[in-house]
Chain A
Amino acid sequence: MKAEPGDSYLDEKSIKSWLLTRDHKRIGILFFVATGLALVLGGVFALILRLELLTPRATLVGQTAYNRLFTLHGVTMVWLFLIPSIPAAFGNFLLPIMIGARDVAFPRLNLASFYIYLLGAIVTLAGMFVGGTDTGWTFYVPYSSETHTSVFPVLLGVFILGWSTIITGVNFITTVHTMRTKGMKLFDMPLFVWTIYGTSIIQVLATPVLAITLSLAGIDAVFNWGIFDPARGGDPVLYQHLFWFYSHPAVYIMILPAMGVISEVVCTFSHKNPLSYKAIAISTFGIAFVGFLTWGHHMFTAGMSAFDAGAFGVLSMLVAIFSAIKVFTWVGTMYRGSISLETPMLYVLAFLFLFVFGGMTGVAVATMSLDVHWHDTYFVVAHFHFIMVGGSLTAYLAALHYWFPKVTGKMYREKWAFPAALLVFGGFVITFVPQFLLGNMGMPRRYANYPEHMQTLHTISTAGSWALLGGLGMTLINILWAVRYGRQASPNPWWSASYEWYTANPPPKHNWVGSPSFERGCYDYTQSAPDPRGSVSVAAPPNLSQEVVSG
Chain B
Amino acid sequence: MKRPVLIQILLALIILTCTAGCDSTRLLREAQEAFNQGAEIENRARLGISGDPASLSTLPPPKGDPTTYYEIALARLEQADDASLKRDGLWVHKRTLLALTHWKLGNHEQARETARQTNADAHRHPREASILKAIPALVQIDNAIEMTQRDEAAPLNAIEDELVGTPYGAISILEEAREIAPGHAIQVYLIQSRLSAYLALARARERYGTASRFNDSEITEVRDSLTLLQELLNRFGATTADAEQITTLWGRALGVSH
Do A and B share a complex? no
Binding site for B on A (CB under 8 A): none
